[in-house]
């Protein structure tokens, strides 16, 4: 996938993850995109590893997998910030 597709997918996944898990997170749109892109990598790895799905572009399955990874990343970041 091209870099623009990863950024768009990251933006979508980051926004959805922050919608599902509202809270006081630092950063604006750049941090949201970063959380989404890193979440897409995490979700894609775990999804492929466990046979759930993969990140292949802008489609429903990829958005779900990327959002799941972004939610997992938000949980980890909040646990780290708490301690």
Reported as a single tens digit per residue, the pLDDT across 59-74 is 888 888 888 988 898 8
Structure tokens, 36? 């989404």
d(CA 42, CA 67): 10
Q: What is the pLDDT of residues 11-58, one digit of tens each?
A: 888 888 888 887 776 677 788 788 888 888 888 888 888 888 877 878
H or E element: which one contains 56?
A: none
Residue 72 half-sphere exposure toward CB, CA atoms < 13 A: 17
Q: What are phi and psi of 31, to 5 degrees?
A: -65, -40
């Amino acid at each position: 996938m091209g870099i623009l597709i990863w950024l768009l997918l990251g933006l979508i996944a980051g926004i959805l993850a922050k919608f599902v898990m509202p809270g006081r997170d630092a950063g604006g749109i750049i941090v949201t995109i970063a959380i989404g892109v890193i979440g897409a990598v995490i979700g894609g790895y775990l999804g492929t590893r466990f046979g759930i799905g993969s990140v292949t572009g802008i489609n429903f399955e990829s958005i779900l997998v990327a959002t799941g990874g972004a939610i997992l990343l938000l949980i980890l970041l909040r646990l780290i910030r708490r301690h």
